[in-house]
Amino acid sequence: MLLEVRNLHVHYNKVAALKGVSLQVPSGGIVTIIGANGAGKSTTLRSISGLTKPSKGEIHFDGQRIDNLPAEKIVARGIAHVPEGRRIFPDLTVEENLRIGAFLRTDKAKIESDIEDIFQRFPRLKERRTQWARTLSGGEQQMVAIGRALMSGPKLLLLDEPSMGLSPVMVQEMARIVSDIAERGVPVVLVEQNAGLALKLASYAYVLEIGTVAVEGKASDLQTNDHVRRAYLGA
């Protein structure tokens, strides 16, 4: 397994947000975490990338324990996190946002070719490369956030609700982008409220309910699971 989360507990000011979450991510494909508002999806991703410190439990990545490392050391290990709400740098240009994703890298030539690769994937960003990022539309900002994460050359990509606030057309575009990333060899952990979409994209799924894993299984099996259908797919 590329990533293993074991019995993770997180508290915010003594209130438990995660109460023993365990999950595994293989070194290919898409794993999704779905769940209602406040279930603890973002908290799970934030613990993996080091933004939030767990009070109990272990996180292993690539065979090494990482839960005691600060966020800037974890990205160096190869985990890129596109946080909830995108969190691009509004007063950097589009290109500066992308390049800062490669902050820790020193392979100059490969950085240049990766930038070109990002611009090929997202031609709209190329047209807007010198614009302040705050002037972009929501969908374009999401592309910047994903492009910035890819610029670190990650071994694992964490995506927190990439479809949030996007038009239906953009949501489909985003789905295509996420599948494409996984197909090109970067495994993805996808957090989504749009459970139907997430279960279509992913091969394996975890359903979080108030800080614990309520159901897990193959995404295709969960699509037909009664509880999941009633609670998350509106059936």
Partner 1 sequence: MPDFLLQTVFNASYAASYMALIAVGLVLIFGVMGVINFAHGELYMAGAYAIVFFYVWSGLPFFVAVALGLVFVGCLGILMELTLFRPLRTNPLGGLIASIGFLLILQTLAVLGFGLRNQNVPPVSQGRITVGGAFLTYERLYVIIATIGLLTALYFFLRKSKFGWALRACAQDREAAALQGISINQTARYAMFIGAALAGVAGAMTAPLVAPSPYMGHSVIVTAFIIIIVGGIGSLEGAVVAAVLYAFVHTFVTTFYDGVIANIVGLLLMLAVLVVKPQGLFGVRERA
* Interaction of residue 43 with ligand ATP, rule CB under 6 A: yes
Orientation angle between helical segments 138-150 and 168-183, nearest 10 degrees: 10
* Interaction of residue 98 with ligand ATP, rule CB under 6 A: no
Q: Return the residues of window 64-93 that contact ligand ATP according to CB under 6 A.
A: 84
Q: Return the residues of window 65-94 that contact partner 1 according to CB under 8 A.
A: 70-72, 75-76, 80-81, 83, 87-92
Binding mask 61-100 for Mg ion (x = CB under 5 A): -----------------------x----------------
Within 10 angstroms of residue 178's Cβ, the number of other Cβ atoms is 24
* Interaction of residue 50 with partner 1, rule CB under 8 A: yes
Please pick, from the candidates 41, 81, 86, 128, the single residue that binds ligand ATP as defined by CB under 6 A. Answer: 41
* Interaction of residue 164 with partner 1, rule CB under 8 A: no
Q: How far is the CB of 203 from partner 1 (least distance, A)?
A: 26
Of 34-42, 117-125, 134-142, 175-183, the window that binds Mg ion (rule: CB under 5 A) is: 34-42
Taking the C-alpha atoms of residue 73 and residue 139, their distance in angstroms, rounded to an integer, is 29
How many residues form the binding site for ligand ATP (CB under 6 A)?
12
Tokens representing 79? 């985990």
* Interaction of residue 147 with ligand ATP, rule CB under 6 A: no
Written as one string, the DSSP assignment of the chain is --EEEEEEEEEETTEEEEEEEEEEE-SSSEEEEEE-TTSSHHHHHHHHHTSS--SEEEEEETTEE-TTS-HHHHHHHTEEEE-TT----TTSBHHHHHHHTTTT---HHHHHHHHHHHHHH-HHHHHTTTSBGGGS-HHHHHHHHHHHHHTT--SEEEEE-TTTT--HHHHHHHHHHHHHHHHTT--EEEEES-HHHHHHH-SEEEEEETTEEEEEEEHHHHHH-HHHHHHHS--
* Interaction of residue 139 with partner 1, rule CB under 8 A: no
Q: Return the residues of window 166-205 that contact partner 1 according to CB under 8 A.
A: none
Nearer to Mg ion, 58 or 84 (CB): 84
Q: How far is the CB of 70 from ligand ATP (least distance, A)?
A: 17
Binding footprint of partner 1 on the chain (CB under 8 A) = 49-51, 70-72, 75-76, 80-81, 83, 87-92, 96, 99-101, 103-104, 148, 152
Binding footprint of Mg ion on the chain (CB under 5 A) = 42, 84
